[in-house]
Copies of this chain bind each other. A is one copy, B any other.
């Protein structure tokens, strides 16, 4: 865990994913850690903060989420584009050393077994709100955020600072097939009269 990581007030947790980044989903159960990429993750509520994420039935991470009832949603950076693409396109079922091959380094927070991916810009620890119909019919999972952290070099005082930070810390926004866009410049709407 690097010294730039600081807790984010839960009332601002939605801001970590409000701009629509591709995320990494990680989970742990029975001695197994796994990480996958997901472009289909989205805020769902402010307080308590909730989010949705789509987890395909073929993924090992989904099994770990269902078994443990917990997961982490984290925001990877431009520096992690290869890692993000790799964990999104290989499966632990086919490659037991998937995480090592993708260059994933995990760390733990607050003594919990939840695996956090090092080098990301933000982390949301989630508890699964079981909704069997959504999970079975739509692969749609709902999590309540119980803790949030960010790298203060790029998110602090409740705001992203992409415009001032190292460009390698920008978020990734996947389109398809390994083609991403980085987040760009700030655009502020004028106050309304």
A189 partner residues in chain B, CB cutoff 8 A: 81-82, 84-86, 178-180
With an 8 Å Cβ cutoff, the count of chain A residues facing the other chain is: 56
Tell which of A1-9, A36-44, A64-72, A103-111 binds the partner: A36-44
| Closest residue on chain B to residue A16 by CB atoms | B175
Chain copies in complex = 2
Contacts of A159 in B (CB 8 A): 175-176, 179
* Contacting residues, chain B, for A60 (C-beta < 8 A): none
Q: List 7 A-B contacts (CB under 8 A).
A: A42-B54, A50-B138, A85-B189, A162-B181, A172-B187, A173-B183, A182-B185
Residues of chain A whose beta carbon lies under 8 Å from any beta carbon of chain B: 15, 18-22, 39-45, 50, 52, 54, 78, 81-82, 84-86, 89-90, 131, 133-134, 138-140, 142, 158-160, 162, 170, 172-176, 178-192
